[in-house]
Amino acid sequence: MRSTLILISVALLISCQDKPEENIYYAPQNQAVFEETIFIDVDLETLWNRITEESNKIFQNEQKTENIGQLTFELKPKNISDYIDCGMMNEEIYVDYIDRIFESSLNIKTSLHLKKEKEKLTSVRINSKYIFKSKETGTTWVFQTNEPKLILVGNPAYGAEPYRACSSNNFLESSIIKEITELE
C-alpha cells in the first residue's frame, strides 16, 4: 500500500511538471543582394594611394597583403553577430547561441580589387570569405559575400530542422564601401 501511494505521488508530481523547452531554429531572413562593385570618379593611382593609406591606419594590427590594384586583409572579430547572420535559436541570435554553448570563431578574408575603367573612373570590387566555426563540435560554415551556406548539423534536437544557414550581413563590406566613397 505504501509503495502504491509513493508511485501515485511520483506520477502526479511528474505529470504536473512543465514540458522541457524545445529548441526551435529560425533561418536568417532573405537579405538583399549586396552590390559588390562600385565606380569612383578618381583615377586608379590616386584612389589606390588613398585606400592603402587609410587601410594602414585602420588595419595596422591585422594581416594584410597588397599589390597595386588588389588589397587583401584578414580579421578575426570577437563580436561575430555584427558580421554574419545565421538566424535564431529560440529567441537568441544563433551565432551567440553557438558561442555560448560550444564557443566559436570567425575569420574573415576580404579582398578589394581596383580596376581602371576610364581616365578618371575606377571600379572597386569587394568580396569577403567567411569561416565561422564551432570550436567544440568542429562544425564549420564557409561562405562568401552574396553566397550563403546551408550546412547539415550533426546532432539537431529530435524533430528539429537539421540544416542551418549562414550569410554575410554585409556590415564589413558596407563599411568599407562607405569609407571608399568618402575618399572621392
35-61: per-residue pLDDT in tens? 999 999 999 888 888 888 887 776 665
From the list 179, 183, 145, 182, the residue with the least C-alpha distance to 36 is 145
pLDDT at 122: 93
Cα gap 25→20, rounded to integer Å: 16
H helices within the chain, ranges in order? 2-15, 44-58, 94-102, 171-181
Pairing of β 121-134 and β 140-144: antiparallel
pTM score: 0.81
pLDDT at 109: 95
Residue 20 — very low, low, confident or very high, per pLDDT cuts 50/70/90?
Answer: very low
Separation of CA 150 from chain center:
13
DSSP state, residue 80: G
The yes-or-no verdict on residue 62 having pLDDT over 70 is: no
Q: Which residue has the cell 592603402?
A: 52
Q: Are 73 and 62 in contact (CB under 8 A)?
A: yes
